[in-house]
């Protein structure tokens, strides 16, 4: 009986290894696809950005939305950066979506009043009920204005003055685009090894994954900030919702199944602040992972049942959503492997071999993926030695993330169910 249980656990362990290899192998596929599509993709991006805008008197109204919750003085920097955007003043509208419960609320009101005295249309929309969190704030704010274009910036992002001129040009060429997403850049990438690791991983995500998804016609998730949505797409997707902590991914897929597509720009970058301490970063990653799984479970059956999505696009979407299973599969695999080895020590050599092969494959794919992103965005500016240190920090971060995830899920299993709570990422105003 014990031997049979051990064999069953070993089979589950092997299946988990294969799934992880397939999931991580998709990153290698993205690198290969990236290199094949890059020349045409970049040429298309240049053509879109070169699209002429109409005269200033005919430009559309744009609403800049800046969500804020207990951000402190950094809210002033974000709002003032929005006011510096190069766009006709009578067609630029700024909404501070402030749900703060501390002194940030007064800062938001003060900076809004100062800018109104200078002739800007700035309003601080302050809620006492945080229902829906960021998604709820975006939904309520959109109802307060009749305009059609919404530029969204998390409070710590500082858009360049020409952001609207460049990004709105894309809508002239692609009027049916749901949103146009710009690439993140960073205000503090070299603060420590953690911020350098985040720079490298986000460059790979944005430069390889996001750019390639657009070039290949795959579903392109909104990154939550540094992009412009048009109202028709938001409404077609059912509007912003606050029942998940990844409202950006949720709305993206709800709009995508209705036929709305998006554009990603690699050459338009908006700098923002990276978490510089491990605990803050781990909480952020946990929130993203939980939200990704929530949206995946919600959208998976919708995509499978859809008759309007072709097989190739459907496969790309399902593979993307399945990436949310990385941590659960890893956790199940580790537990089953350890138990199988304890119950039947004779299985240990085979289990170790499968584990080592899987880890080697994961390291190879992840290293190739991260290096490709760094070379594409930063042109390989980091020395090989420093890049190796960043990779070691990446491995340590993944181990810490999985360990924390296991502990969080154990606590959730033992505790009474709780409603979804948005855990903000603190900003220092770097």
Whether 401 shows a pLDDT value over 80: the answer reads no
Q: Give the pLDDT confidence score for residue 416 in this predicted structure.
A: 55
Q: Which of 98, 203, 248, 290 is catalytic?
A: 248
pLDDT in tens, 242-261: 787 788 999 999 999 999 99
Whether 353 shows a pLDDT value over 50: the answer reads yes
Whether 413 shows a pLDDT value over 70: the answer reads no
Distance (Å, rounded) from C-alpha 300 to C-alpha 286?
21
Average of per-residue pLDDT across 48-58: 97
Its sign, for the CA torsion 342, 347, 349, 355, is negative
Please confirm, yes or no, whether 308 is among the known catalytic residues: no
Q: Give the pLDDT confidence score for residue 244 in this predicted structure.
A: 79
CA angle in degrees (0–180, nearest 5) for 150-154-155? 115
On whether the CB atoms of residues 107 and 76 are closer than 8 A, the answer is: yes
Return mean pLDDT, the chain.
Answer: 90
- The CA distances from residue 364 to 27, 208, 210, 243, in Å, are 10, 16, 21, 37
Lowest mean pLDDT among 49-53, 343-347, 392-396, 406-410: 406-410
pLDDT in tens, 68-120: 999 999 999 999 999 999 999 999 999 999 998 899 999 999 999 999 999 99
- pTM, 2 dp: 0.90
Whether 62 shows a pLDDT value over 80: the answer reads yes
- The CA distances from residue 21 to 27, 250, 357, 417, in Å, are 10, 26, 9, 33
Q: Which of 99, 185, 250, 290 is catalytic?
A: 99
pLDDT in tens, 323-335: 878 888 888 998 9
Whether 67 shows a pLDDT value over 70: the answer reads yes
Whether 224 shows a pLDDT value over 90: the answer reads yes
Both tokens of residue 18? 């294969």
Please confirm, yes or no, whether 99 is among the known catalytic residues: yes
């Amino acid at each position: 009986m014990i031997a049979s249980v051990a064999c069953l656990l070993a089979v589950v362990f092997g299946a988990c290894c294969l799934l992880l290899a397939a999931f991580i192998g998709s990153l290698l596929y993205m690198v290969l696809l990236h290199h094949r599509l890059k020349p045409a993709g970049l040429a298309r991006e240049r053509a879109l950005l070169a699209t002429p805008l109409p005269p200033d008197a005919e430009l559309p109204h744009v609403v800049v939305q800046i969500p804020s919750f207990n951000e402190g003085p950094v809210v002033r920097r974000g709002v003032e950066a929005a006011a510096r955007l190069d766009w006709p003043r009578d067609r630029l509208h700024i909404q501070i979506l402030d749900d703060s419960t501390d002194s940030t609320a007064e800062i938001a009101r003060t900076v809004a009043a100062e800018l109104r005295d200078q002739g800007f249309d700035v309003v601080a929309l302050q809620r006492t009920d945080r229902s829906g969190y960021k998604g709820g704030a975006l939904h309520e704010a959109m109802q307060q204005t009749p305009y059609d274009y919404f530029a969204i910036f998390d409070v710590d992002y500082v858009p360049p003055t020409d952001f609207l001129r460049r990004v709105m040009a894309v809508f002239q060429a692609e009027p049916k685009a749901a949103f146009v997403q710009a690439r993140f850049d960073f205000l503090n990438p070299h603060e420590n090894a953690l911020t350098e690791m985040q720079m490298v991983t986000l460059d790979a995500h944005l430069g390889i994954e996001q750019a390639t998804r657009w070039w290949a016609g795959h579903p392109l998730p909104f990154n939550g900030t540094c992009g412009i949505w048009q109202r028709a797409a938001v409404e077609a997707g059912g509007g912003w919702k606050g029942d998940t902590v990844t409202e950006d991914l949720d709305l993206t897929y709800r709009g995508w199944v209705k036929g709305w597509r998006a554009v990603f720009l690699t050459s338009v970058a908006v700098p923002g602040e990276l978490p510089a301490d491990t605990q803050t970063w781990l909480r952020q990653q946990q929130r993203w992972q939980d939200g990704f799984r929530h949206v995946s479970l919600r959208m998976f059956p919708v995509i499978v049942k859809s008759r309007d999505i072709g097989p190739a696009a459907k496969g790309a979407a399902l593979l993307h959503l399945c990436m949310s299973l990385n941590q659960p599969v890893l956790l199940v695999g580790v537990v089953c492997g350890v138990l199988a080895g304890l119950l039947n020590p004779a299985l240990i050599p085979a289990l170790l071999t499968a584990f080592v092969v899987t880890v080697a494959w994961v390291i190879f794919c992840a290293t190739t993926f991260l290096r490709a992103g760094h070379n594409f965005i930063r042109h390989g500016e980091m020395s090989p030695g420093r890049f190796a240190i960043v990779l070691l920090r990446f491995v340590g971060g993944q181990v810490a993330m999985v360990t924390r995830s296991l502990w969080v899920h154990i606590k959730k299993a033992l505790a009474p169910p709780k409603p979804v709570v948005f855990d903000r990422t603190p900003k220092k105003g770097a």
